Amino acid sequence: MAEGLLGRLSGRGASSKTGTDKNFEVALSDEEWRQRLTPEQYRVLRQHGTERAGTSPLDKQHGAGIYHCAACGQPLFDAGSKFNSGTGWPSFSAPLEQAVETDTDRSFFMTRTEVHCRRCGGHLGHAFEDGPAPTGLRYCMNGVSLDFHAGETPPESAPAGNAPKKERMTAAELPGSILSFRCHCERSAAISRQRSAEGLLRRSAPRNEGM
């Protein structure tokens, strides 16, 4: 009853598509989500509920690893971006690249930035502008929306501009046709220099004038 009232106040019904009609990569029916998720996960992830502060063991989890979406398994946050916000919910300063999306949430007569999984649209929590440097953001997440994989590391991508440089080829590595052309050019240049020098000597030699 209370949940239904809150749902009406927030303008969100069961199996809402996060405020839009967007189709996500992982799209299940409402019944399929109910079968896959626990009742509490379904309430938060699919009905945009909020778990009670301080109830998630992930709030006190400080080990290295990756936090995934509990609904579809999408990697969301690196534990390196997690910090103690003192709110009672797991908080992060930044998500992994291309992991989450945001939407404007105008429920409960306020405007907030809602955060959901990019892959399935599952509701994760909200983002606030009171986080630590360097982002200044606090991604306040429901622990029940997350699945922690201890010891996992995020995939590494090669930084731009770090591609190995191609070394200059040696003469021995040059194809035969290119090497022959290069030798031809070098011989032509040598002959040209020799002829220039001979012409200079002829011009500077004393002439034998007639009597």
CA dihedral 104, 110, 112, 114 (to 10 degrees): -60
Please tell me whether the peptide bond between 134 and the residue prior to it is cis, using omega within 30 degrees of 0.
yes
Distance in angstroms (rounded) separating the CA atoms of residues 17 and 164: 45
Kindly name the residue from 120, 140, 183, 185 that is annotated as catalytic: 140
Token output for 17: 């598509």
Active site includes 69?
Answer: no
What are the residues facing 147 on neighbouring strands?
68
CB 54 within 8 A of CB 39: no
How many CB atoms lie under 10 A from the CB of residue 21?
A: 6
Residue 176 phi, psi (nearest 5)? -55, -45
Of residues 79, 89, 86, the one with CA closest to residue 150: 79
Kindly state the DSSP code that residue 120 receives in the 8-state scheme.
T
Contact 105/112 with Cβ under 8 angstroms?
yes
Q: Pinpoint the alpha helices (H) of 114-207.
A: 176-204
User: Which residues are identified as catalytic?
Assistant: 140
